[in-house]
């Protein structure tokens, strides 16, 4: 009986480690967009968060730095192109200022540490996701 319980626990943990968790982490936008910074050969020193438009510890971890934050006013005053990690509302705010914003990468986002039944149900999952972007912002 004990052997069967141990075997079941090992199989369950194997399935979690090799199937469930890797699929789950695709919805952690910070990790995916952090990998995009490397894949697109972006200078991490030119990447910022837009103030009050989200932060991601997983993004900081993946890019191996504490990403600084810019306000919209600071962004408008920048004379060099920068890359922003921001939410959909942040993208709208940037575009509303008249700055040109090019989407370099985007990914659906869900706080994977707060799993719920709606997210686990594939039919309802899109309703639980938000979109996060890497934008190249250039002053006009």
- Structural domain including 74 reads 2-138
Q: Which two tokens stand for residue 103?
A: 């989407």
Task: Tokens 């920048």: give the residue.
Answer: 78
pLDDT band at 28 (very low <50, low <70, confident <90, very high): confident
Total domain count, the chain: 1
What integer pLDDT is reported at residue 131 of this predicted model? 93
The average pLDDT across 4-23 equals 80
State the chain's mean pLDDT as an integer: 87
The span from the CA of 81 to the CA of 47, in Å, is: 10
The reported pLDDT for the residue numbered 140 is: 66
Instruction: Report the distance separating Cα 52 and Cα 80, nearest Å.
Output: 22
The owner of tokens 């979109």 is: 131
pLDDT at 120: 85
Which of 80, 78, 99 shows the shortest CA–CA distance to 90? 99
Report residue 55's pLDDT band, with 50, 70 and 90 as the boundaries. Answer: confident
Lowest average pLDDT, out of 10-14, 36-40, 59-63, goes to 10-14
């Amino acid at each position: 009986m004990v052997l069967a319980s141990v075997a079941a626990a090992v199989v369950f943990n194997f399935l979690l480690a090799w199937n469930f968790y890797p699929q789950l982490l695709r919805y952690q936008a910070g990790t995916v967009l952090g990998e995009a910074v490397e894949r697109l050969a972006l200078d991490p020193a030119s990447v910022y968060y837009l103030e009050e438009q989200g932060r991601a510890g997983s993004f900081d971890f993946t890019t191996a730095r504490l990403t600084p934050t810019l306000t919209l006013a600071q962004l408008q005053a920048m004379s060099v192109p920068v890359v922003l990690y921001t939410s959909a509302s942040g993208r709208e705010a940037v575009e509303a200022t008249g700055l040109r914003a090019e989407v370099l990468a985007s990914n659906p986002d869900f706080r994977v540490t707060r799993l719920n039944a709606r997210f686990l149900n594939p039919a309802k999952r899109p309703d639980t996701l938000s979109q996060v972007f890497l934008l190249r912002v250039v002053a006009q």
